[in-house]
Chain A
Amino acid sequence: MQKTRPKHLDLRVIKFPLPAIVSGLHRISGALLALSIPFVLYALEGSLSSAERFEAFRACLGNPLVKLFLLVVLWGFLHHACAGTRFLFLDMHKGVDLKTARLTSWIVMIVSLSLTAAIGAYAW
């Protein structure tokens, strides 16, 4: 076997196919979600502790920065859930041929982004 295999890791030269992008975003969104666990728990605690804090949290949603943060976490969750469901089917050898795999990647991107937009528009 050849000892030094050719590597093409120059990010300016290589072009990722969509399934690779979905996979990469799955990892990035997963890391983001793991980091956000205590903050989501804090929000749950606040929303459960008293009616005043519940309303205070609701009012807090009006802040654009809070909105942006929540939208990013929401997208992270939706993308991770959609892409994860796709991976579960791939594990069961469903949709592993290139055409279907590319199609389901598109579906994951479109569904997670449009759900984020829809929930964001609905909530505000």
Chain B
Amino acid sequence: MVNRIVVGAHYGLRDWLVQRATAVIMLVYAVAVGAFVLFAAKAGYADWQQLFSCTWVKVLTTVTVLALLWHAWVGIRDIWMDYVQPLGLRVTLHVLTIVWLVGSLVYSVKVVWGV
């Protein structure tokens, strides 16, 4: 008989690896946008909007948002698993976290692709 306690998580390497891979994606994106802001100090609304009107910028932004949300899911879930022991409360917090992050995803699609 398998005696595994259900804690609302997967086991193994996948989440650990996802957290690191998504971190690298976000670092690359952050450095790129940081460089734009730094070298375009005089840039105003027109340049900012032009940057985000390019399809490839929208695609990379959406990919980075997906990386961010997946990364945040692994991290926040770790926090709940470390500090919240009662199972019912923990699963509730997991669900609320997912709602928060999926809501952010839908909103980000509107923000990035609505321009």
Contacts and interface: CB of A to CB of B under 8 A. Distances in A.
Given A27-B79, A55-B45, A37 B111 contact: no
Interface string A34-52: 1001100100110111110
A51 B50 CA distance: 12
B115 A41 contact: no
A18 interface: no
Interface residues of B, number: 28
Nearest to B107: A41
Contacts, number: 58
Main secondary structure of the interface of B (DSSP, over half): helix
A84 interface: yes
Interface string A7-40: 0000000000000000000010011011001100
A97 interface: no
Nearest to A44: B111
B48 A81 contact: no
B43 to A, nearest CB: 11
Contacts of B103: 38
B27 interface: yes
Contact of B75 (A34, A41, A48, A50): A34
B23 interface: yes
Main secondary structure of the interface of A (DSSP, over half): helix
B7 interface: no
Interface in B59-75: 68-69, 72, 75
B30 interface: yes
B75 A81 contact: no
B77 to A, nearest CB: 11
Contact of B24 (A34, A38, A88): A88
Nearest to A33: B72
Contacts of A51: 45-46
Contacts of B48: 47-48, 54
Nearest 4 interchain pairs by C-beta: A54-B45, A45-B111, A34-B72, A51-B45
16 contacts: A27-B75, A27-B79, A31-B76, A33-B72, A37-B72, A41-B108, A44-B111, A45-B114, A48-B48, A48-B111, A48-B115, A54-B48, A81-B30, A84-B23, A85-B27, A88-B24
